[in-house]
Amino acid sequence: MLDLSTWILTGVAVYGAGLSTYNLIIERVKNKKRIKTDLKVGLLTYPNGKTSDAKFILTARNIGNIPVIINPPVIILPYAKQIILNDLESNICFPHELNPQNSCEAWTDLKELAKSMKEQGYAGRVKIRIEFRDAVDKRYQSKPFLFYVGEWTK
């Protein structure tokens, strides 16, 4: 039978191991690159009060604790295809060092994107994603976005 001092010693050892593991996990999370990406449809408002045609707005947010150098986003299509956006406009210049707790946006014309997708044979509802890559080619993808190609090619 184990005496009380052995139980206490075992308890302290287990507590120490648990605390050490917890600290290791927290330290790894702190030093991990974390970019959240998002895409939405919107309009730009100009200083004269006018609004743009519909735009596809791509956002990258650095929710981590270390800066990340990001490259221009691409549109990921089904069947391992992608669209590189040549007419991309943005509030920053790519490649860009995205500091912690900062974000950037880029946008492209929605009708032009739909036209490009239609030329590649896509029609109807298409699940697309955006993807930003960092300087070492780590990929940060958005959740799927259901894009109606036919609605924007009329």
3-state helix, strand, coil split of the chain in percent (to 5) is 25, 40, 35
Look over the chain and give the mean of its residue pLDDT values, rounded to a whole number: 90
Q: Are residues 19 and 54 in the same domain?
A: no
Q: Are residues 52 and 2 in the same domain?
A: no
Question: What domain count does the chain have?
Answer: 2
Domain of residue 88, CATH code: 2.60.40
Based on the fold, state whether residues 37 and 65 are members of the same structural domain: yes
Give the closest residue to 141 by CA, choosing from 37, 34, 32, 33.
Answer: 37
Residues 19 and 93 reside in one and the same domain:
no
Range of the domain at 141: 33-152
Whether residue 110 is predicted with pLDDT greater than 80 in this model: the reply is: yes
Q: What is the pLDDT of residues 26-64, one digit of tens each?
A: 777 777 889 999 999 999 888 998 999 999 999 999 999
Shared-domain flag, residues 80 and 113 = yes
Q: Which of 18-22, 86-90, 101-105, 113-117 has the highest mean pLDDT?
A: 101-105
